[in-house]
Amino acid sequence: MEIKFGLISADSHAAFHRDDFTSRMSARKWGDRIPHVSRKKDESKAVDGWSIYGQPPRGDVCNCPAVMGDPFPTWPKVWEEVPALAFDPKERLKALDVDGVDAEVLFPNPPGGSYYEYGDAEFELACVRTYNDILAEWRRASDRYLPLVALPLLSEPQAVAAEIERAVTNGHRGVNVPGKMPKALPHIAAPHWYPVWEVCEKLNVPIHFHGSANLDTAASAKKWSGYSVRQAHSAATSTSAVTPAQIIPHFVFSGITERFPRLKIVFAEAGIGGLNYVIAACDHEWETRRLWTHGLATRPSEAVRRQMFVNFWFEAEGIKLRDDIGVDNIMWESDFPHVASYYPRSWHEVERVLDGVSAADRRKLLYENAMKVYDIEATVRISETPSAAV
């Protein structure tokens, strides 16, 4: 890879072609259970969504308002309105160049990256393997794509670990994990999941908790019927700032960070300002309850700074706390092509948020930290100044 702009997104979202799953999964075996685009019924206008496991289509056909043009924000209603910039990896490289972004970590988009909710372990595994194979093709199209592994959580932990190894061999650079495991499965801190953390540590690929990470944060507020669609989205997204505070204590106080000291953990699309509180709170608990006598020899703040990372994109106030959090623990994110993305003017916002930040810290925040976290081998040859990419 070549770093020519000096900007890596640690959180973007791949989009999928309507034929991605149907062209790869066995129609004879799975039939209409295969994820596919279908027309919704009882709509006054034509609206498409993704049908999975034979259920009625739901959600957006593609979450890509950043590339839909004016009026903003607009979401495609039918498949034919989805721009190739969202789902075609070769076309999407043009968008990266326009925005001045060297590479991007790829999280899911409709039809999603998890399929455990149908309670069918064999189906989940087939979908997850297909999902991972699709993004492996993105990686083969360009090393500027850093896909994350989707996990077959209903399978045995050893099988989950095996899928991680298979996907990483095919180019994936990390793993996407829910903060709340499916019903009837062990808690995320349970030894049941140790084989998953072990293989991630061995392969040097970080695990990721994205947004709310499937947690029920402020669920009553999120589901209030008085919100408009946009208000509900804003209320739900804003609460993601507390995701690290819900997950970090479990990883620290369960002893996972002690047992797996080289396991890297990334919190994407959850901001950075909330990290100071959870660091202080965990240190306070560790000290007052003398948890080093319970086998937790490492001070929580040391464990967090050793192996946990957060992302920013709009949070100028959070950047002022960078030395308290650890300037080596923060990465930039785009969220492309979602509504929060500043595409195609990401550099304009970078300059606003990093106003007054030293050149050395800028390099770390914008691409050097990401290169370390994702073990990226690259030649840094920045040919355009940030202002040229604005």
Q: What is the pLDDT of residue 222?
A: 57
Residue pointed to by tokens 């080289």: 262
Question: Which 3-state string (H, E, C) describes 269-338?
Answer: CCCCCCHHHHHHHHHHHHHHCCHHHHCCCCCHHHHHHHHEEEEECCCHHHHCCHHHHCHHHEEECCCCCC
pLDDT digits (tens, 9 = 90+) for 101-122: 999 999 999 999 999 999 999 9
What pLDDT, on a 0 to 100 scale, did the predictor assign at position 42? 75
List pLDDT tens digits, range 168-208: 999 999 999 998 899 889 999 999 999 999 999 999 999 99
What local confidence, expressed as pLDDT, does residue 390 receive?
45
Query: Residue 151 has what DSSP assignment?
Result: -
Distance CA 284, CA 281 (A): 5
pLDDT of residue 94: 97
Q: Does the predicted TM-score (pTM) go above 0.85?
A: yes
DSSP code of residue 177: -
Identify the pLDDT of residue 158. Answer: 97
Say what the pLDDT of residue 180 is: 87
* Cα 194 to Cα 259: distance, rounded to the nearest angstrom: 9
pLDDT of residue 388: 42
C-alpha–C-alpha distance, residues 146 and 168, integer Å: 10
Question: pLDDT under 50 in the chain at which residues?
Answer: 218, 220, 387-390
Superfamily of 2-31+83-389 according to CATH: Metal-dependent hydrolases (3.20.20.140)
**Residue 254 confidence (pLDDT):** 95
State the virtual CA torsion across 170, 164, 144, 177 in degrees, nearest 10: 160
Q: What is the CA radius of gyration of the chain?
A: 21
